[in-house]
Structure 1
């Protein structure tokens, strides 16, 4: 049995901001805001049964608004960077607002992470449903886009995130969740000793703006080879030009070689916590918070590099500007559907 609680914790632009918490029979809890569908906590046990939070976040709405580098949020309509904040669909040029130099990042300054979503009524207490309707032209994107995101907590200690969208005008969609995981619990340690295993033979190199060049590189013989598992620290120590480019670490799309078969596994050896991710998406963007600076605190811990690792399942970043990448165009008669499951266990 999953128990759901809900409370209003603030107001933004005349709309109520709600904190909703799901709790299962094992003591696992998932807390989230309808502001950006933001996951604020995921509480799971370690090998000694100690239940702690394993994602980065804040205790107040004000901190999320002022400081958050997309902690736990749903980002979109398009995750990642879009070159020169522009794209062309059916010969029509669309200019988006820039929020990272001349480029557009994670839906821009008014992306899905910064809006209030409606909390839907679902009979099944284990499912939390968020809906949002983006009007045509908002944030520069074409089409009236109707979006639903659901979070489901199971008694197998699994969080299942599903995304669904329809449009009345051809547009682009590529959403993901931007949680920063730290399986040590309560940010007791950084994530460099976390061991990551990914079913991926290839990755996408980045240019100086951290946007895919369009090339596809083999992971063999590099710090991007996670097929047998390796500590994240390897990317910090690596002299590979791509690891150095992103500030020593990772901020790269890994192309998955299989789906929904334990393709991503993250383990923190000291706590014994393990996260297994299964998805129908072709890519996981691995980011080791290389750019995080000590300009704010998170629940009493000063922000810094390598305190969280993001595993963003999605389509290829900047796909709309690379004809060789799988399309992220959504037509009027199509449905955007994708699901990613996060299962927590002990090793």
Structure 2
């Protein structure tokens, strides 16, 4: 990636591009504009390094094209909040409604963390630290929030993302990462033949506006069941209410277990690349790029529906309005901590 294409003054801060390398030859490039991973090179079965994440090859496209979430840090609240409203201690807060025809708040709003120029410090060739002060009432959220995100590329071929945050007022927070993966390394292909296993017995069903109904339902005997390996495309067009509402997969899975646990395994039978996802979060959003629509991306490739998949570890969508979901409230005396690991490999 040309460094000059990621050098720009924006909001009085300098946009830059940083590179992480490990001893195994993996390379990740990250811009401090939105904390985006703009390229991620991993080897295939023959040791050939290819880029397995979608995106753009210059900052102008990240600023101006329609898909704004490629590879970004998402916050303050990843996923949706119904009608952009929530209550803390009987005080109602109103956020921007930027999704589902202006019905819901999505991914922190138009100027969410994906649209922030983060302060950046390259700690070493394998670590990049990003920080941001999200001020009181930014996007309508209460509290001054100090956020730090550490990207680390380990010699075990793990991309470890560590989030931490503190606030001076009770607020809500739900951070996640939004890379679009295609393990073939061929960005003009699709991911329908990828095999996936999701370590979740339940999911949170959605209504017509993509908001959880409040129920937690079993995935058993439904097209959303991936407790054993299935190809992504095997049931993506199933005659099923949940599939039809999302135009494919765009659902929050309730991960089995607690603490740092495995959320998913993905395997591409062509390149033999593998991806394992671990997280301390209670859920993971599985999205199959249903709304990628003729987008010109890197390498002069054009992205269409199902060109990639996302696995976004998170608390559940609309949790502030669903009291029985795990809470996303943080208090001034607390520190928010969350860890996600994407581990890359090859299955021979």
Range into which the TM-score falls when normalised by the shorter chain: over 0.9
| Cα distance in structure 2, aligned partners of 1:159 and 1:270 | 23
In 2, are the aligned partners of 1:76 and 1:112 still within 8 Å (CA)?
yes
Whole-angstrom CA distance in 1 between matches of 2:152 and 2:298: 26
Pick closer, same or farther for the CA change 1:99–1:194 going to 2, 3 Å. same
Partner Cα distance (1:281, 1:38) in 2: 20
**Contact 1:46 1:271 (8 Å CA) reproduced:** yes
SS at match of 2:83: helix
- With normalisation by structure 2, the TM-score equals 0.95
Secondary structure of 1:265's counterpart equals strand
| 2:83 corresponds to 1:84 | yes
| Cα-Cα RMSD | 1.5
Quick check: 1:61 aligned with 2:66? no
1:72 aligned partner: 71
Aligned residues: 341
CA distance in 1, matches of 2:295, 2:231: 27
Contact 1:37/1:130 (8 A) holds in 2: yes
SS of 2:64's equivalent in the other structure is helix
The 5 Å alignment of 1:44-55 reads: 44-55=42-53
Are residue 120 (structure 1) and residue 127 (structure 2) matched? Answer: no
Give the superposition deviation at 1:327: 0.4
Cα distance, 1:187 vs structure 2: 1.2
What TM-score, normalized to structure 1?
0.95
Shift of 1:235: 3.4
Deviates more, 1:106-115 or 1:13-22: 13-22
Deviation at 1:258, TM superposition (A): 2.5
Aligned partner of 1:219 in structure 2 is 219
Query: In structure 1, what is the Cα distance between the partners aligned to 2:186 and 2:3?
Result: 23
Give yes or no for contact 1:6–1:21 (8 Å, CA) kept in 2. no
SS at 1:306 equivalent = coil
**Structure 2 CA distance for aligned equivalents of residues 162 and 318 of structure 1:** 23
Report if aligned partners of 2:54, 2:297 keep a CA contact under 8 Å in 1. no
Describe the superposition over 1:197-221 as per-residue Cα deviations: whole angstroms up to 9, x where unpaired.
Answer: 1111011111111111111111111
CA distance in 2 between counterparts of 1:76 and 1:65 reads 17
CA distance in 1, matches of 2:319, 2:167: 19
Q: Which runs of 5+ in 1 are unaligned?
A: none
Q: Distance in 2 between matches of 1:48 and 1:189?
A: 19
Contact persistence 2:265–2:275 (CA under 8 A)? yes
Aligned to 1:343: 343
Match of 1:199 in 2: 199
**d(CA) in 1 for partners of 2:68, 2:10:** 19
- Cα distance, 1:121 vs structure 2: 5.2
Q: Aligned with 1:63: secondary structure? A: helix
Query: What is the alpha-carbon distance in structure 1 between the residues aligned to residue 189 and residue 296 of structure 2?
Result: 17
Q: Distance in 1 between the 2:321 and 2:54 partners?
A: 32
- Secondary structure at the aligned position of 2:206 is classed as coil
Matches of 1:306 and 1:6, distance apart in 2: 29
What secondary structure sits across from 1:201 in the alignment? strand
Aligned-partner SS, 1:180: coil
CA drift at 1:261:
4.4
Which of 14, 23, 26 is the aligned partner of 2:24? 26
Aligned counterparts of 1:263 and 1:325: Cα–Cα separation in 2: 18
Report the Cα offset of residue 26 of structure 1. 1.6
Q: Which residue of 1 aligns with 2:272?
A: 272
Q: Supply the distance in 1 between the matched residues of 2:189 and 2:302 (Cα, whole angstroms).
A: 12
* Counterpart in the other structure of 2:161: 161
Please give the per-residue CA displacement for 1:72-93, whole angstroms capped at 9, x wherever unaligned. 0001000011111111101111
SS at match of 1:237: coil
The CA deviation string for residues 170-215 of structure 1, in whole angstroms up to 9 with x for no partner, is 0000000000000000315200001111111011111111111111
- Flag structure 2 segments of 5+ consecutive residues without an equivalent: none
Structure 2 residue 261 is the aligned partner of structure 1 residue 258: no
- CA 1:293–1:209: 2 relative to 1, 3 Å: same
